[in-house]
Amino acid sequence: MAKLDLPVYIKQELTVTIIDLSYQGLGVAKVEGYPLFIEGALPDEVVDVRVTKITKHFGYAQALKWQKFSPERVTDVDNRYLQTGIAPLQHMTYAAQLDFKRKIVTDLLKKAHLETIAVEKTRGMEHPFAYRNKAQVPVRKIDGQLEIGFFKHNSHDFIPMDNFLIQDKRIDEVLCSVRDILREFHIRAYNEVQHSGVVRHILVRRGYYSKQVMVVIVTRTAHLKYATEIAAKIQSECPDVLSVQQNVNSAKTNVILGAHTNVIAGTSEIEDQLNGLTFKISAQSFYQINPQQTEILYTEALKRAELTGDETVIDAYCGIGTISLNLAKQAKRVYGVEIVSEAITDAKRNAAVNGLGNVTFKTGEAEKWMEKWQTKGIKPNVIVVDPPRKGLTNSLIESACAMQPDRVVYVSCNPATLVRDIQKFMELGYNVSQPILPVDQFPQTTHVECVTVLSRTNLNDWD
């Protein structure tokens, strides 16, 4: 094999200047044009590093010593959160995090030669910690004791914790109570090497307004010893826990939840409010994890839909109907589609709970239903899409444009697929008509959420 002619070699120690931050939050330095990625390093810093991995086009290095720090560095951070990936941007000031998230979007647009599309400042939180309304925490045995914690990045090293930094503080307290109760009943923690033991994860959800708490104990075995006694103790120690459930996941997998969930005590769901609407949330349903920012996200999406009350609107990827019901308050009729049937059951119930009769929910692939609605002659004035990270398919974009809505409001959790999809919409006669708005749903992490409006240009008007 020909030797790679690279400007660095493995284990080489050198001093580099950080010129950028990758979208995963790694510092980027260039050695004769060859990029090196360095965890924990920030732009403008000068760092002594050791090369740890090289490939043909880029390499990785470990920071050894800082020669110069960035003014954007936060110094009093607990490294466990960086190591476990809970808060990979925690070492950056929040203002710099918000700029970074905006820059991810502008850089992607520039790469696609779309630099004329404007991007607003990222809408951030006042207190960017303790925001998560849901925790899914692994359980393991460390030094003979059942512990809750997190795994180090790319490793099987488990770090016990009782403060998870970005979760609702009450969720952390409930997690610690459940941990102590499981210890008291001598319940065994899961061992992934031997695929033995019982409790794999503890999932806790808490309503931001309702303050109702749900605890789900995820077990490898269908049988959980003392289940009733454990649930009773959890509810007596934490009176705000309305629901204790067991989810069984006996597979050798990284996926957290198994297919089957049963109620041990209390209700099968909790409820919460968003923008004044009530939502029932079950253990398995998707529900946005940052309630305060979700209200901003939905309000901004709704504003951009420009509804007057006469419109027909499609909400593709509707989950439990959170966006659909916000739209239904201001539109004539809303059609929602979602692939998870339990979510559609929740969505229908949520429509009824809120007394909104002008919504139709369908289970299935958004692509298929868009086509069906199109052939049925449904003419949406506005289409809202909120797809998972992989973004939209060509067929969905084609069906959407074929229906000729005035506007498409695109809520995106992945700017890379957003920019790719914008290009397809542009080929089909739609243009980004307002600055893209990033909303920080995930402070301290590298995730970026955006609202984009695509409006029909005159291109289609002659047909």
Active site residues: 413
Q: Which is closer to ligand SAH, CB of 94 or CB of 410?
A: 410
Q: What sign for the dihedral angle of Cα 272, 274, 279, 280?
A: negative
Residues near 56 by Cβ (< 8 Å), separated by ≥ 6? 4, 6
**Amino acid letter at 385?**
V
Does 374 carry a binding-site annotation? no
- Residue 215's nearest CA partner among 266, 147, 288 is 266
Nearer to ligand SAH, 122 or 322 (CB): 322
Binds ligand SAH by CB under 6 A, chosen from 250, 388, 389, 457: 388
Residue 168 found at the interface with ligand SAH (CB under 6 A): no
Q: Is residue 213 helix, strand or coil?
A: strand
Nearer to ligand SAH, 54 or 296 (CB): 296
- Does residue 339 belong to the site contacting ligand SAH (CB under 6 A)? yes
Q: How many residues bind ligand SAH (CB under 6 A)?
A: 16
SS3 53: strand
CA 285 to the chain's CA centroid? 14
DSSP assignment letter at 3: P
Q: Which of 258, 266, 319, 380 binds ligand SAH (CB under 6 A)?
A: 319
Q: Does 325 bind ligand SAH (CB under 6 A)?
A: no
* Residues contacting residue 175 through CB under 8 Å, at least 6 positions apart: 135, 137, 148, 162, 164, 202, 204
Report CA-CA distances (Å) from 367 to 11, 40, 143, 362. 49, 41, 51, 12
323 binds ligand SAH (CB under 6 A): yes
**Sign of the torsion angle spanned by Cα atoms 278, 280, 281, 285:** negative
Stretch of 30-38, 235-243, 326-334, 336-344 contacting ligand SAH, by CB under 6 A: 336-344
Site string for ligand SAH, 353-372 (x = CB under 6 A): ------------xx------
Q: How far is the CB of 72 from ligand SAH (least distance, A)?
A: 31
What residues from 273 to 292 belong to the interface with ligand SAH (CB under 6 A)? Answer: 286, 288
Residue 47 or 359: which CB sits closer to ligand SAH? 359
Residue 114 within binding range of ligand SAH, rule CB under 6 A: no
Instruction: Please state, in angstroms and rounded to a whole number, the distance separating the CA atoms of residues 456 and 80.
Output: 48
What distance, in Å, lies between the first and last C-alpha atoms of the chain?
59
> Does residue 338 touch ligand SAH according to CB under 6 A?
yes
Figure out which of the listed residues 212, 261, 322, 445 binds ligand SAH, where binding follows CB under 6 A.
Answer: 322
315 is in an annotated binding site: no
Write 96-99 long-range contacts (CB < 8 A, 24+): 96/42, 96/72, 97/124, 97/128, 97/440, 97/443, 97/444, 98/122, 98/124, 98/440
The smaller minimum CB distance to ligand SAH, of residues 39 and 371, is found at 371
Q: Rule CB under 6 A: is residue 318 a binding residue for ligand SAH? A: yes
Identity of the residue, 216 or 281, whose beta carbon is nearer to ligand SAH in the bound complex = 281
Q: Is 410 annotated as a binding residue?
A: no
Give the H or E element holding residue 263. strand 260-266
Least distance (Å) between residue 322 CB and ligand SAH: 4
Task: Say whether 115 sits in a helix, a strand or coil.
Answer: coil
Binding site for ligand SAH (CB under 6 A): 286, 288, 317-319, 322-323, 337-340, 343, 365-366, 386, 388
Annotated binding-site residue numbers for S-adenosyl-L-methionine: 288, 317, 338, 386
Annotated binding-site residue numbers: 288, 317, 338, 386
